[in-house]
Structure 1
Amino acid sequence: MQRHGAILFRGFPLATPSDFEAFAEAMSPGLYGQYGDLPKKEEGKNIYRSTPYPEQKMILFHNESSHLASWPRKQWFFCELPSQTGGATPLVDTREMVRRMPKELAEKFDRTGLQYIRTFNEGFDVDWREFFKTEDRAEVEARCRAAGTDFTWFEDGTLQTRTFCHAIVRHPVTGERVFFNQVQLHHPSSLGTAMHDDLINIFGADRLPRNVLYGDGMPIEDEVMGLISELYETCAVRFPWQRGDVVMLDNMLAAHARDPYTGPRKIVVAMGQMMSRDALEAGTELAS
C-alpha cells in the first residue's frame, strides 16, 4: 500500500454491497458514515453511492475531502455493476505529481497553500442544510469556526465558506511530500468557457458554486491548471472494472477520478481511518 498507494482486489466472493461493507469494515473498523456530499447506499450502513454527475463528463482528479478539516486516509471502491463502455477510475500517485511538477510551482503551492471557496446557492449542488445535516445557522457557524473555516451569509440566506488548506503535505506515515488537494474540481477553468460564463451570469463572479485560489487570495492561473491537468494524465493508471472488484487506496498517496461512460454503472464507496488537519500539522502518525 505504501509503495503503490492503491491495491486492486479481484476474484473475491463479494456479491453485494453488504458483502463489500463487511469486507471494508474488517480491514478498517469504524467506517465513516457522516459524509455530506455523497448519497448513502440503501443496502448498507456506512457506504455510499458514487457521485451523481453526468455520465458524459469526467470527474476530475482529486483527493477525497482534502479541502475540508478532516478526510479519510483509506477509501474503497466496489464495482457492483461495470458500465458498457468507459467508466474507469483512474489513479495517480501524488508523490509522482510533486516530483514532476516544476520546482518553482511546487514551492509556491507549498508556501501559499490554497483557499477553497464554496457557495451553497439554492437549487444548485447540495443545500447547506443537507450538507451540514442541520437547519440551525448557529450550529453551522460553530462547526465552521471549529474547523477554521471562514463563512459569510448573504442577504438571501445563501452560505459561502472559505477554507484554507495545504496543497502539498507530508504523508503521516511515509514522510513523503504529496500533492494533496482538489484544485481541479474547484477551479473555474475546469468548467469550460460556456458553463463558466453561464454560472457568472446566474450567480456573479463572487458567488460561483466552487472556486479555489492560492492561499494568499491570488487567482491560480489557467496556464498552471493546464500544466496540472497534463501531469495528472501523464501519471494516471487505468484499468477496466469487473463486477466484484474492490480498489483500496490511501487517499493521501493516490488521487482518483472517473472517466465518462455509457450504460448503467454502479460503484459503491466506503471511507475510513479519518485524519484531521490538526493531527497532520502536529505530526501525528497513524498505523498504515
Structure 2
Amino acid sequence: MATFIEPSELRSHTINSASPSSTLVVFEPFSLPSGNQRLLGKPHLDNTPIPLALRPSPHDNVKIDLSTVTRTIKSLQSQDGGILTKKLAQHGTLLFRGLPIRNAEDFSKFAHSFGYKPHEIIGIVVDRPFLAPNVAPANEAPKEVLIYNHNESPQVPHAPEYIFFYCHRAPKKRGESPIASSVELFHRAQQEIPEFIAELAEKGILSRVTYKFQKQYEGGSTLKQAFGKEIKEDDDEATRRAKIEAQIARYGRGKHTTWEWTDDGIVLTHRLPSIRTQPGTNFPALFTGLAAYYKNAQVNSGARKNVTQQLFGDGTAIPEKYLAHLAIITDEIRVLHKWQEGDVLVYDNTIAQHGREPWEGEQEDRVVLASLFDGENVPGAYGSADWAQVVQALDG
C-alpha cells in the first residue's frame, strides 16, 4: 500500500556532485502524495522509495538553467561508475521535477547528458516519429486505450535498458503513468504462484508478433516501418523480403527466432526469457508484459488484441489464472504517477515497469515524449538454457 513518505526518510538520498565546482546543481529528494510514491518491498533495501523524486535546489545563487543541469548530470555520471545509474539500479525509477525543460529539444539534451547509447527500435509495432534527437511520442494510441504495466519491448529480443519520459502537457483528469518494481513482482509471484514461476523458468515464453503491410491500428506501424529501413521504392518483392529478414537476423537469436510469411505480412516467433536478472545484484525480475496482455485484452477492443500472442516456451497456453494473479500483485505494488508539466521520469527498464492510464478530455490534452537508451550491460540469464540470455542487436 502506498503511504506518504516523510521528508526525514529521504534526506540520505540528496544527490550532490563531488566536483569542487560551485556552479553545479544539488538534487534534493522530496515526498510525493500517497498513491504516487511508496517504499519498495523485499528484496529491495529497507526505506527505498519508488520513484525517488528529485528537484534542483539553488545554492550559492547558482542559476538553474538547462546548461547547468546537464553539466551536473554529466558530472554525477562521471563519478563512481555513474551516480544516477546506481540510483536507478536501487530505486528503479527517478522523477525529476522543476527542470528548465520546455520542449523536445531540451528533453533530448537532458536525456543524452546521462551518457547512454541511443536505442534503435527494431520490430516494435508502434509508430514513433522522431521530434528531436532520439525523442519521439511515448504512445499515440487513443486516450481511451489502457496500456497496463509492462517492461518496454518484452515481446522482442532487443529491449532498451533505460527509458526517459517527459511531460509536455498534462491532462486535468487521469492519464497517469504507472510505476512498479519488476524485482518485487518476481519476489511476490515466486511466493504466491511458485508453480507458475517454475514453469516460466523451465520453458520461457513463445512470443508471436504479427506484422502487416498495412497499419493494424491507430498508433501502430507497418511491416516496412518495423523492419524495412533498407528497402527502396524500386526493390522487387524478393529483395524486400531479403532486406526484412536481414533486419530480423540482427536480433542475434539464431534458431530462437523464426518467421512465416503470410498473404498480408509476416509472423515472428521468439523464444524468450520472461525472467531476467539485474546486472550487479543478480536479482531476478519478471521482465514481461504478460499481465498487460491480459488486462489490455479485457478493456481494449479492436485489432490491438491480435498483434502479440504469448505462450509458454513449449507452445502451450498460459493459464489465465496466473495472468490474473500477476495483475493482482501488480495493482498492489504499483503507484500511479500524476504528471505535472515539465516532469521527467527515468526508468531502469530491467527492474521497473511503466504503462499509461486513460484520461478524460481531448487526445491532445496529454503529451508525453519518450527517449530510449541502451546500457553497458543487458539483463542476465536466469538459468543456463541458451534461450535464457538476451543480447544487444547487431549493428546494422
Give the TM-score, by structure 1 length: 0.86
Query: Across the two proteins, how many residue pairs are aligned to each other?
Result: 273
For residue 131 of structure 1, the aligned residue among 203, 214, 226 is 226
* Preserved contact between residue 207 and residue 269 of structure 2 (Cα < 8 Å): yes
Across the aligned residues of Structure 1 and Structure 2, the Cα RMSD in angstroms comes to 2.6
Q: Which runs of 5+ in 2 are unaligned?
A: 1-87, 232-239, 382-387, 392-396
**1:120 equivalent in structure 2:** 211
Distance 1:243 1:158 in 2: 40
For residue 238 of structure 1, the aligned residue among 323, 333, 336 is 336
Aligned residue for 1:120, secondary structure, equals strand
CA change 1:210–1:245 in 2 (3 A) is same
Report percent identity of matched pairs.
22
Q: Are 1:46 and 2:152 counterparts? A: no
Within 5 Å, which residues of 2 pair with 1:81-230? 81-101=169-189, 102-121=193-212, 122-124=214-216, 125-134=220-229, 135=231, 136-147=240-251, 148=253, 149-154=257-262, 156-186=263-293, 190-192=296-298, 195=301, 208-230=306-328
* Preserved contact between residue 71 and residue 274 of structure 1 (Cα < 8 Å): no
Distance 2:354 2:379 in 1: 24
* Aligned-residue offset at 1:103: 1.7
Distance 1:71 1:234 in 2: 26
Q: Are 1:269 and 2:377 counterparts? A: no
CA change 1:241–1:193 in 2 (3 A) is closer
Q: Which runs of 5+ in 1 are unaligned?
A: 201-206
Aligned residue for 1:178, secondary structure, equals strand
Q: Are 1:58 and 2:179 counterparts? A: no
Distance 1:186 1:83 in 2: 25
Of residues 269-278 and 14-23 in structure 1, the stretch that sits farther from structure 2 once superposed is: 269-278
Q: Are 1:8 and 2:114 counterparts? A: no
* Aligned-residue offset at 1:50: 1.7
CA change 1:275–1:116 in 2 (3 A) is farther
State the Cα deviation string for residues 114-171 of structure 1 (Å, max 9, x = none). Answer: 11111124441421111113442112223324423210002x2421110111011111
Within 5 Å, which residues of 2 pair with 1:30-41? 30-34=117-121, 36=124, 37-41=126-130
Greater RCO, CA 8 A, separation 6+:
1
* Preserved contact between residue 41 and residue 268 of structure 1 (Cα < 8 Å): no
Of residues 170-179 and 63-72 in structure 1, the stretch that sits farther from structure 2 once superposed is: 63-72
**2:32 equivalent in structure 1:** none
Distance 1:59 1:171 in 2: 24
**1:251 equivalent in structure 2:** 349
State the Cα deviation string for residues 86-119 of structure 1 (Å, max 9, x = none). Answer: 0111111011111111222111111111111111
CA change 1:113–1:276 in 2 (3 A) is farther
* Aligned-residue offset at 1:249: 1.0
